[in-house]
């Protein structure tokens, strides 16, 4: 149906021409259904029709190629995006993470941190990194220390936002082992923050560490 709609526009049978929202929705549909050939066709249509390849369209292309497993093309689109915002970096990290490319995802993350400016990691970033570590085998069989090194090895000093984002990502994926570590770091940052203490107590409770709950 997506291809038919674009074909009709090219043949002059459609009064309303596809716009950026149209192509982004089409790319999203291609990504979710794994229709790489059609996604490539839409990509070609974008260039043929003279669409401006802004971050909105670029991110959709990265996401589509990533979900379809075409990581090389996803990286090419990512690299030529002149306005890489947080969503751009997250799209590339998540694309690599989806296919177990943990080293690549971590490398993109480190590049993002070095890029600096207003771009800062958020919860989506760390969920992507955690996915990369999981799919890449870094948290299999108790190898949690290697996943923690992702954060410890950051060129910037991890702050409350970073540890809080990692904590949320751990909770989403049921990684209470890592969540415990992140919660401890938050308490170290602000020992008088009752919210951090409550989070720590809840995590200890889920892990069955009742002595630790009483000590919070």
pLDDT of residue 98: 86
SS3 label, residue 48: helix
Whether residue 113 sits in one domain with residue 78: no
pLDDT at 173 over 50: yes
Whether residue 24 sits in one domain with residue 78: yes
- Rounded mean pLDDT, 146-167: 66
CA 162, CA 154: separation in Å to the nearest integer? 10
pLDDT digits (tens, 9 = 90+) for 62-99: 999 999 999 999 999 999 998 899 999 999 999 998 88
pLDDT band at 203 (very low <50, low <70, confident <90, very high): confident
Q: Determine contact, residues 53/81, Cβ cutoff 8 Å.
A: yes
- Rounded mean pLDDT, 23-43: 95
Whether residue 178 sits in one domain with residue 103: yes
CA 164, CA 183: separation in Å to the nearest integer? 8
At which of 37, 66, 83 does a domain end? 83
CA 172, CA 105: separation in Å to the nearest integer? 19
**More reliable by pLDDT, 169 or 206:** 206
- Rounded mean pLDDT, 203-215: 77
- The burial class, CB within 10 Å (0-12 / 13-18 / 19+), for 84 is buried
Q: Determine contact, residues 93/129, Cβ cutoff 8 Å.
A: yes
For the chain, what is the mean pLDDT? 79
Number of domains in the chain: 2
pLDDT band at 139 (very low <50, low <70, confident <90, very high): low
Cα dihedral 137→138→142→146 (10° resolution): 170
- Note down the domain range covering 127: 85-216
Whether residue 111 sits in one domain with residue 34: no
Whether residue 117 sits in one domain with residue 171: yes
Whether residue 38 sits in one domain with residue 23: yes
By percentage, how much of the chain surpasses pLDDT 90? Answer: 29
CA 191, CA 186: separation in Å to the nearest integer? 8
At which of 83, 110, 129 does a domain end? 83
At which of 42, 58, 83 does a domain end? 83
Lowest-pLDDT range of 23-37, 115-129, 184-198: 115-129
């Amino acid at each position: 149906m997506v291809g038919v709609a674009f074909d009709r526009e090219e043949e002059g049978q459609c009064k309303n021409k596809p716009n950026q929202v149209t192509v982004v929705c089409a790319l999203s549909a291609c990504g979710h259904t794994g229709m790489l050939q059609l996604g490539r066709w839409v990509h070609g249509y974008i260039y043929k029709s003279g669409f401006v390849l802004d971050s909105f369209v670029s991110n959709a292309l990265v996401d589509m190629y990533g979900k379809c497993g075409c990581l090389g093309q996803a990286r090419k689109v990512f690299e030529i995006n002149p306005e890489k915002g947080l969503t751009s970096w997250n799209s590339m990290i998540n694309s690599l993470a989806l296919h177990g490319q943990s080293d690549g995802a971590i490398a993109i993350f480190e590049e993002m941190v070095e890029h600096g400016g207003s771009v800062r990691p958020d919860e989506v970033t760390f969920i992507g990194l955690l996915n990369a570590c999981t799919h890449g085998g870094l948290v299999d069989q108790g190898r949690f220390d290697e996943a923690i090194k992702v954060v410890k090895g950051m060129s910037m000093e991890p702050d409350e936002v970073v540890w809080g984002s990692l904590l949320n990502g751990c909770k989403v994926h049921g990684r209470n082992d890592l969540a415990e570590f992140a919660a401890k770091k938050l308490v170290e940052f602000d020992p008088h923050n009752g919210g951090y203490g409550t989070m720590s107590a809840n995590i200890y409770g889920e892990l069955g560490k009742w002595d630790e709950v009483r000590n919070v």
